[in-house]
Amino acid sequence: MKKIELETRTLGLIRRHNLISSGETIVIGVSGGADSVCLLHVLARWRRELDINLWVAHLNHQLRGAESEEDAKYVADLAGRLGIPMTIDRQDVAGYRSERNCSIEEAARELRYDFLARVADNVGAKRVAIGHTRDDQVETILMHILRGTGTSGLRGLEPCSTIPSRSCQLLVVRPLLDITREEAMSYCQEHRLDPRGDSSNLALSFFRNRLRLELLPLLRQYNPSVDQALLRLAEIAKDDGSFIEQQASELWDKVGRQEDNVICLDKKQIATLPIALQRQLIRLAIAKILGDTRDIEAIHIEAVRGLLSRQVGKRISLPHGLVSHREYSEILIASTATGSPENSQNFRGENQSQLASRSRPFPPLYAQFPLKVPGETWLPGWRVIASIAQERRDSGDFIAEFDLHKTGTELLVRQRQPGDRFQPLGMSIAKKLQDFMVDAKIPRSWREHIPIVCSPQQIIWIVGWRIDDRVKVTEATKEVLRLESIKSP
């Protein structure tokens, strides 16, 4: 009776959350322990009714010597008896941990999910099933609390979540989240599946083991129903979080934009929102770059939010190679692996102010280019049209008009140079170009890429901002030079 009830509850969770679709191939991560063996057996029994194909995946972590080898052999034999194809691989988790300078738990998790994603890609699956139980859920929620989670971490494990894959967004489904670890073990015993035991589950050197073996039993002395209390907390956090996420998604187009691996958040708009929405929008921005927010903790979200009140140019480092940077009107979040020269130096030192290299509106300009006047000149990322007329027309940020007699026709375009000065329109004295850019609140990451139009005598135009007062059109002007800068594909 118990095994039928377990299967019924598992299928109920699958249907309630649409964890599996008809006709799909499902990769099942099977360690050999009771939880994953129980999941494999249930899905194998119901594969015809669910109309699914199964594929077993087992990763040997090479941490327990002969015991790990026996686990792999057991899983292979079980998959063979059930008539399910499988992939077995091995990874040096200890070596990977040394390279990454992380915990064994983190190293094993990263390699395991990478393995599952590769298997899914190879067999054309879009979903991976994992044998996480209700006990894992309780432990995860408590672990997040102890590590200082935000409300999103209180949700614990979701029935369905995503992990990055080479070909698609891979879904991880957890059909056993309504089942306890004890129930899974009883199911295996009733079916004589004889699952493998893992001696490392008793090692108190692992944080999760200490939590399961020491802390939870102690908490149950204070409250025998602490498991149910934590699960209720997760459900409430999920409902509240879903509402905030919906609000943030509806606001996204107003406050954020993405350009390659850079997210730009409108500082003024963000600052006026309730703090809960600020946090969720920052989390959403990070998820858009990384694909998820694993390892992004409350302290990281608060650090980014703190940039709203920090000085321009302030930057912070985040997990997974992310950095966040305060510009005049925006908070930028970017991956340091964007491939640009400035990003490759980990943003250390004054010369690393180019965080927004992919978000600036100006293509790079690394040389001097003479302009054809009148005529059309093609530059890297730009097209400049020069024409001569007898009277003025409308101008704009990328269109400017000058007194031809004062500018002449020997013009060139270049990037700024040290010591540049010009006399901004409306001013009676010259000013350092650097000071003008600071006063105009031009983001530091844009300044080297703004086209500067010069005559043999002086700068005549900071494209997108201001012309020089000395070459402006006046009533005495006889011929008007019109320059139009157009960004080209």
Which residue pairs from 142-148 have beta carbons closer than 8 angstroms and sit at least 24 positions apart in sequence? 142/211, 142/215, 142/216, 142/219, 142/230, 143/207, 143/208, 143/211, 146/211, 147/297, 148/297, 148/298, 148/299
Asked if 312 and 326 touch (Cβ cutoff 8 Å), the reply is yes
User: What are the φ/ψ torsions at residue 213 (nearest 5 degrees)?
Assistant: -90, -25
Task: Look at residue 21 and tell me if it is in a domain.
Answer: yes
**Cα distance between residue 112 and residue 63, in whole Å:** 13
Asked if 444 and 313 touch (Cβ cutoff 8 Å), the reply is yes
Answer yes or no: is pLDDT of 358 > 60: no
Please identify which residue in the block is written with the tokens 């299967």: 7
DSSP-derived 3-state class of residue 476:
coil
For the segment 271-303, what is each residue's pLDDT rounded down to a tens digit? 999 999 999 999 999 988 887 787 788 889 999
pLDDT value, residue 2: 59
Asked if 470 and 422 touch (Cβ cutoff 8 Å), the reply is no
pLDDT value, residue 9: 95
**What does the block give as tokens for 483?**
């320059």
Answer yes or no: is pLDDT of 118 > 50: yes
Lowest-pLDDT range of 261-265, 309-313, 324-328, 342-346:
342-346
Answer yes or no: is pLDDT of 347 > 70: no
Query: In the beta sheet, which residues pair with residue 376?
Result: 385
- Same domain for 14 and 162, yes or no, is yes
**Cα distance between residue 48 and residue 38, in whole Å:** 17
**What does the block give as tokens for 171?**
């879904």
Cis peptide upstream of residue 374 (ω within 30 degrees of 0): yes
**Cα distance between residue 291 and residue 169, in whole Å:** 8
Of 97-106, 157-166, 191-200, 328-337, which one has max mean pLDDT? 191-200
Among the candidates 210, 229, 248, a domain finishes at 229
Please state the domain count of the chain.
3
Among the candidates 181, 208, 229, a domain finishes at 229
Task: Look at residue 41 and tell me if it is in a domain.
Answer: yes
More confident residue, 376 or 488: 376
Asked if 293 and 322 touch (Cβ cutoff 8 Å), the reply is no
Asked if 365 and 382 touch (Cβ cutoff 8 Å), the reply is yes
Task: Look at residue 404 and tell me if it is in a domain.
Answer: yes
Answer yes or no: is pLDDT of 474 > 60: yes
Q: Measuring CA to CA, how many Å separate 266 from each of 257, 291, 417, 442?
A: 9, 21, 30, 15
- Same domain for 198 and 81, yes or no, is yes
How high does pLDDT run on average in the chain?
87
DSSP characters over 435-462: HHHHHTT--TTTGGGS-EEE-SSSEEEE
pLDDT value, residue 104: 85
**Cα distance between residue 274 and residue 276, in whole Å:** 5
**What does the block give as tokens for 306?**
């703190």
pLDDT value, residue 257: 87
- Same domain for 443 and 298, yes or no, is no
DSSP characters over 237-250: HHHHHHHHHHHHHH
Q: What one-letter code names the amino acid at 254? A: K
Lowest-pLDDT range of 73-77, 93-97, 438-442:
438-442
pLDDT value, residue 355: 42
- List the CATH number of the domain containing 470: 3.50.40.10
- Same domain for 274 and 403, yes or no, is no
Task: Look at residue 249 and tell me if it is in a domain.
Answer: no
pLDDT band for position 440 (50/70/90)? Answer: confident
- Same domain for 265 and 332, yes or no, is yes
pLDDT value, residue 110: 86
Among the candidates 295, 320, 352, a domain finishes at 352
Answer yes or no: is pLDDT of 326 > 90: no
DSSP-derived 3-state class of residue 121:
helix
- Same domain for 295 and 400, yes or no, is no
pLDDT value, residue 388: 93
Q: Measuring CA to CA, how many Å separate 71 from each of 93, 308, 451?
A: 16, 52, 64
Asked if 69 and 61 touch (Cβ cutoff 8 Å), the reply is no
- Same domain for 347 and 381, yes or no, is no
Task: Look at residue 200 and tell me if it is in a domain.
Answer: yes
Task: Look at residue 128 and tell me if it is in a domain.
Answer: yes
More confident residue, 199 or 19: 19
- List the CATH number of the domain containing 195: 3.40.50.620
For the segment 364-407, what is each residue's pLDDT rounded down to a tens digit? 677 889 999 999 998 877 889 999 988 887 766 689 999 999 99
- Same domain for 337 and 386, yes or no, is no
Other CB atoms within 10 Å distance of the CB of residue 188: 19
Alpha-carbon torsion angle 21, 23, 24, 25, nearest 10:
140
Q: Please state, for a pLDDT cut of 70, what percent of the chain lies above it.
A: 90
Q: What is the pTM of this model?
A: 0.68
pLDDT band for position 351 (50/70/90)? Answer: very low
pLDDT value, residue 40: 97
For the segment 211-235, what is each residue's pLDDT rounded down to a tens digit? 999 999 999 999 999 999 999 999 9
- Same domain for 264 and 391, yes or no, is no
pLDDT value, residue 62: 84
Q: Please state, for a pLDDT cut of 90, what percent of the chain lies above it.
A: 60
- Same domain for 300 and 431, yes or no, is no
pLDDT value, residue 54: 97
pLDDT value, residue 181: 95
Lowest-pLDDT range of 32-41, 79-88, 138-147, 160-169:
160-169
Task: Look at residue 70 and tell me if it is in a domain.
Answer: yes
**Cα distance between residue 432 and residue 447, in whole Å:** 13
- Same domain for 214 and 276, yes or no, is no
pLDDT value, residue 395: 67
Answer yes or no: is pLDDT of 352 > 60: no
Range of the domain at 330: 260-352
Answer yes or no: is pLDDT of 337 > 90: no
Other CB atoms within 10 Å distance of the CB of residue 417: 11
- Same domain for 381 and 410, yes or no, is yes
Q: Which residues are within 8 A (CB) of 80 and not within 5 positions of it... i.e. 6 or more apart? A: none
Task: Look at residue 236 and tell me if it is in a domain.
Answer: no
Lowest-pLDDT range of 94-103, 123-132, 193-202, 341-350:
341-350
- List the CATH number of the domain containing 311: 3.30.465.60
